[in-house]
């Protein structure tokens, strides 16, 4: 049966255009900071009446004074910082709430706005001994999350303005790859020649700074955190990545494009996101990008920024699993919040800066982007105050296009307007101050962050730590089974907090119903999750109970077998004890015999030792006598041998024949010669020729007797060639006497 409920009236079905009036909004908070006078002779045109009110008096050189409208102008800001205010106080008042919102998961945007030379960059960056807003933000963030940071590469950018959650193994591989790349990369690699920026000189040197560890913010210790930073500049209405790798940068810088992600958030596509683990590392990355930022010298500022710079700190946080040990591997539970710190380039007037050429073009683009920002804020204010629905021209400038989401209610927006109270800057400063005061009238929707309740036990990280310490203590005490204990912290069985406020005071307010629907959906999801967890625990409990019962039965059977075996062992032990007693008696008897035998052996050894000593003494005496008689025998032998040699020598001298030299015999005339000449002998006509009176010539010897028969001498003539090829004749002579041969020297 159909319901008789009628259709709601048309007034109840109006479009939800007016729901924005029911959404909580906050105005853009604008702070004013006055820089000190540069010279004592300068005249100030500003006076601080209270911490929120500022009075500006036009000087005689101002256009208002010449036009006759020299009235004082009174401006109101959220807070005004005088010339002597320290950086620490500015940070605490302006930026610390933005950092707190960042850790709570909300986005934040901070502008520094003013004319050139008004101290915007100093307020944002500061000096080494007096740091500005950006370094102090980094210090507070890392002081707060220092003990809860995820390991590097656990969170990895997905190139679509989001982050993926990697396992510990994948993160470890990425860390090893980074380490390996750092080891093989030379310290001063030769990179492709890139376009030289005017800030690449020593105007932006690397500087060290003092860190502030005194301030921190409480965080949820059941989450892990990671910090990523990006640094871009908007130059001539184009976006450039200041952290892009040197190898990628070509001669002409490649501009980036602004895109919209799946959640309708604007981001710079393909921008470099660097994961940092400390405030010093993040500040070093900032300085690396700062060296590439475009600055130039103008008539009003020695280092005038020629571009808008945006340094973004992105905080990624994800809950731990139910055991409080590992990051939950689910991209949907990752919360990403960001804080954008924007250092706007100062507005300029050409007649004062004396810019020409490239500087003039840069100044024109800077002023155009600032005018677009002003137009967007004015249209937003008009839509909110007058109920109009004009289109906000965000896309007219890359600066406003990038931060469109903040003005649409996706974050908290704050502005610091920096002013130089010098009277000469009145005409430029008054326009900036009026725009800044008008900006406070713009209302920004208060962002709502719905933290997903997964039903995990609060404080599970600390519980996990305590459990591990207890388990380690048990293992140290000798309980080895403690190593197998599983961590089981479990879910909290609760469907959440109380119901939201259900009171409806406006028929057009559908937000209450939407909140109730969201709450009920969360309760249903939580109930399903808890039911599934309960069923799983019931199954595990039943399995464990069955296993314990089976183990108990096995122990009973084993106990019965052990009792029977124990009785048998007792009988064996009694028999063995009797055998041991008998064996001990036998051992005692044998020990007595052994002692007697040892005594006998000892006495015999002593007697043997004495006999060995006597035997050794006899051998020594015998050797001494032998040595004595051996010496005497040798002496007598030498004496007899000497006498024999003397007698033998004398007898030999008596029997030796007389000395004779056959060569000088007088009977040479009676010698007979055997002249041996070969048939092929070449005649020579030399003066010296052999003279042999009685000779017998032969050409060939057939028997040795031909030499000795009837002859006393023999002469052989031989011819050969010498080393120089000349004929050489040799004579060989032999003499015979009583059967002996005497050699003679011949020529």
Annotated binding site: 114-121
Give the C-alpha separation, 376 to 384, whole Å.
12
- Which pLDDT value is given to residue 9? 35
Q: Are strands 274-276 and 295-296 parallel, antiparallel or unpaired?
A: unpaired
Residue 563: CB partners within 8 Å, gap ≥ 6? none
SS3 assignment, position 79:
strand
- Predicted confidence at residue 497, as pLDDT, reads 66
- Count Cβ atoms within 10 A of the Cβ of residue 104 and give its class: 0-12 exposed, 13-18 middle, 19 or more buried: middle
First to last CA, the chain: 165
Rounded Cα gap, residues 278 and 452, in angstroms: 28
Domain at 25-445, CATH class: alpha beta
Backbone φ and ψ for 719, nearest 5 degrees, come out as -125, 140
pLDDT at 12: 32
Q: What are the boundaries of each domain within the chain?
A: 25-445, 493-571, 671-743
Instruction: Compute the distance between CA of residue 367 and CA of residue 375 in angstroms, rounded to an integer.
Output: 12
Strand ranges for 73-171 from DSSP E: 73-76, 79-81, 108-113, 126-127, 130-131, 155-157, 163-165
Three-class DSSP labels, 382-412: HHHHHCCCCCCCHHHCHHHHHCHHHHCCCCE
- In this structure, which long-range contacts are made by residues 299-303, counting pairs with CB atoms below 8 Å and at least 24 apart in sequence? 299/352, 299/353, 299/354, 300/116, 300/117, 300/348, 300/352, 300/353, 301/116, 301/117, 301/346, 303/203
Closest CA to 672 of 699, 717, 710: 710
DSSP string, 294-321: -EE--SS-TTEE-SEEEEEEEEEEEEB-
Using left for φ > 0, alpha for ψ between -120 and 50, and beta otherwise, residue 153 falls in: left
Mean pLDDT by 10 residues, the chain (747 residues): 38 36 77 91 89 89 59 91 94 95 94 88 90 95 94 93 93 91 58 40 54 84 95 92 72 82 91 95 92 58 68 95 86 93 76 53 80 92 88 93 90 93 86 90 80 73 80 82 68 65 74 83 86 89 93 94 93 94 94 94 94 91 88 89 88 69 57 84 81 84 78 86 85 70 46
What is the sign, positive or negative, of the torsion defined by CA atoms of 149, 154, 157, 161?
A: negative
List residues forming the annotated binding site for ATP: 114-121
Distance CA 499, CA 505 (A): 17
Q: What is the pTM of this model?
A: 0.62
Q: What is the pLDDT of residue 393?
A: 93
Token reading at 556: 């009973």
256 secondary structure, DSSP code: B
Place of tokens 């909580």: 24
Q: What is the pLDDT of residue 175?
A: 92
Judge: domain 671-743, CATH 2.130.10.30: no
């Amino acid at each position: 049966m159909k319901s008789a409920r009628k259709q709601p009236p048309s007034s109840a079905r109006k479009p939800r255009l007016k729901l924005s009036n029911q959404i909580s909004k906050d105005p853009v908070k604008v702070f004013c900071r006055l820089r000190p006078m540069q010279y004592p002779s300068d005249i100030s045109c500003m006076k601080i009446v209270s911490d929120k009110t500022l009075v500006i008096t036009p000087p005689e050189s101002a256009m208002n004074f010449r036009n006759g409208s020299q009235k004082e102008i009174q401006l109101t800001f959220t807070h005004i910082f005088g010339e002597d205010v320290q950086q620490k106080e500015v940070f605490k008042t302006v930026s610390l709430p933005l950092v707190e919102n960042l850790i709570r998961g909300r986005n934040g945007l901070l502008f520094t706005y003013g004319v050139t030379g008004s101290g915007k960059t100093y307020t944002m960056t500061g000096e080494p001994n007096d740091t500005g807003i950006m370094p102090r933000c980094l210090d507070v963030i890392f002081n707060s999350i220092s003990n809860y940071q995820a390991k590097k590469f656990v969170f990895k950018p997905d190139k679509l303005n989001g982050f993926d959650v990697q396992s510990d193994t994948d993160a470890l591989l990425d860390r090893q790859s980074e380490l390996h790349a750092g080891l093989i990369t030379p310290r001063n690699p030769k990179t492709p020649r890139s376009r030289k920026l005017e800030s690449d000189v020593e105007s932006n040197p690397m500087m060290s700074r003092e860190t502030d560890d005194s301030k921190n913010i409480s965080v949820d210790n059941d989450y892990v955190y990671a910090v990523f930073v990006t640094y871009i500049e908007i130059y001539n209405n184009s976006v450039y990545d200041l952290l892009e790798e040197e190898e990628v940068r070509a001669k002409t810088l490649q501009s980036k494009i602004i895109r919209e992600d799946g959640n309708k958030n604007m981001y710079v596509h393909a921008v470099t996101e660097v994961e940092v683990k400390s405030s010093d590392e993040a500040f070093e990355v900032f300085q690396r990008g700062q060296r590439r930022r475009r600055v130039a010298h103008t008539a009003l500022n020695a280092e005038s920024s020629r571009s808008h710079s945006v340094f973004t700190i992105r905080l990624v946080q994800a809950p731990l699993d139910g055991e409080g040990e590992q990051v939950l591997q689910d991209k949907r539970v990752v919360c990403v919040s960001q804080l954008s710190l924007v250092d706007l380039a100062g507005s300029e007037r050409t007649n004062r800066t004396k810019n020409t050429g490239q500087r003039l073009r840069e100044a024109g683009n800077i002023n155009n982007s600032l005018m677009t920002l002003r137009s967007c804020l004015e249209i937003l204010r008009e839509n909110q105050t007058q109920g109009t629905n004009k289109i906000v021209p965000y896309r007219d400038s890359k600066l406003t296009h990038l931060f469109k989401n903040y003005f649409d209610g996706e974050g908290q927006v704050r502005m610091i307007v920096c002013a130089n109270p010098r009277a000469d800057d009145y005409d430029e400063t008054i326009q900036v101050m009026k725009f800044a005061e008008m900006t406070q009238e713009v209302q920004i929707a208060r962002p709502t962050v719905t933290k997903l309740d997964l039903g995990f036990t609060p404080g599970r990280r600390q519980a996990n730590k305590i459990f591990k310490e207890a388990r380690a203590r048990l293992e140290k005490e000798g309980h080895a089974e403690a190593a197998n204990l599983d961590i089981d912290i479990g879910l909290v069985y609760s469907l959440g907090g109380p119901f939201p406020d259900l009171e409806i005071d406006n028929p057009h307010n559908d937000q209450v119903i939407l909140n109730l629907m969201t709450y009920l959906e969360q309760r249903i999801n939580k109930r399903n999750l808890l039911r599934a967890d309960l069923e799983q625990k019931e199954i595990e409990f039943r399995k464990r109970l069955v296993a314990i019962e089976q183990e108990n039965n096995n122990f009973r059977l084993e106990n019965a077998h052990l009792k029977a075996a124990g009785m048998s062992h007792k009988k064996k032990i009694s028999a063995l004890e009797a055998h041991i007693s008998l064996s001990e008696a036998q051992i005692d008897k044998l020990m007595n015999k052994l002692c007697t035998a040892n005594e006998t052996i000892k006495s015999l050894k002593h007697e043997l030792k004495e006999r060995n000593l006597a035997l050794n003494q006899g051998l020594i005496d015998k050797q001494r006598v032998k040595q004595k008689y051996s010496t005497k025998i040798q002496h007598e032998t030498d004496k007899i041998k000497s006498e024999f040699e003397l007698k033998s020598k004398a007898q030999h001298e008596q029997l030796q024949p007389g000395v004779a030299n056959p060569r000088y015999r007088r009977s040479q005339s009676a010698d007979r010669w055997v002249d041996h000449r070969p048939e092929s002998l070449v005649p020579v006509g030399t003066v010296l020729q052999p003279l042999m009176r009685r000779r017998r010539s032969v050409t060939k010897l057939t028997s040795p007797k031909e030499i000795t028969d009837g002859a006393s001498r023999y002469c052989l003539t031989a011819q050969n060639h010498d080393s120089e090829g000349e004929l050489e004749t040799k004579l060989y002579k032999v003499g015979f006497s009583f059967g002996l041969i005497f050699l003679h020297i011949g020529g």
